[in-house]
A and B are shown apart, each in its own frame.
Chain A
Amino acid sequence: DQQVKQNSPSLSVQEGRISILNCDYTNSMFDYFLWYKKYPAEGPTFLISISSIKDKNEDGRFTVFLNKSAKHLSLHIVPSQPGDSAVYFCAAQASNAGGTSYGKLTFGQGTILTVHP
């Protein structure tokens, strides 16, 4: 049962253009969403996150949008740079009734982003 899905295995974009990576989830208990970036032979590194009480979070060139009703989030990178070429993972967390995060991350399959000079 894939609770977090990234349906695009790969994305190719020209330098300077916008990259849009998409993610869908099924578990209504998820209340915090994160994007991780992974280079070969390295562990994932945190990029940006969003709480379920927001619909947008921006950090420099990176913006994450959350549509709770559609259970969909997206990561926008503007402008894209060759150094952004990596695998991007969408991940989700849930909290208990008291609002304490379980901590555990549920990941999507990843999208390979290639930014061409």
Chain B
Amino acid sequence: EAGVAQSPRYKIIEKRQSVAFWCNPISGHATLYWYQQILGQGPKLLIQFQNNGVVDDSQLPKDRFSAERLKGVDSTLKIQPAKLEDSAVYLCASSLDRGYEQYFGPGTRLTVT
């Protein structure tokens, strides 16, 4: 069974630029999560989708971050404009449904200079 795929693996941008990350969850998984992991901290949920609907985006900085999950499969997370404090690893995870085991992708390491 293929795991959660993410791209790119690494991205370096200057502040005020925009960036987008892509996630392809495990086939058949209804729930998709984006987490932000800042160095030295645990992952923090940014947004949770159930199929193509948003369940929880309470911790998403909506003035600069946006995410979508078209057709309830792939998802993209965008930052525009980026700030220095957005430097982090962005992890995508999926699960069969809410409450089931979450499988994580390898993450995208973003560096904002």
Contacts and interface: CB of A to CB of B under 8 A. Distances in A.
Contacts of A110: 41-42
A46 B4 contact: no
Interface of A: 4, 6, 32, 41-46, 89, 91, 93, 95, 100-110
27 contacts: A4-B42, A32-B99, A41-B107, A42-B107, A44-B43, A44-B104, A46-B102, A89-B42, A91-B42, A93-B99, A95-B99, A101-B98, A102-B98, A103-B31, A103-B55, A103-B95, A103-B97, A103-B99, A103-B102, A104-B33, A105-B45, A105-B102, A106-B45, A107-B43, A108-B42, A109-B40, A109-B42
Q: For chain A, what secondary structure do more than half of its interface residues adopt (helix, strand, loop), or is it mixed?
A: loop
Interface in B13-68: 31, 33, 35, 40-45, 48, 55-56
Interface residues of B, number: 26
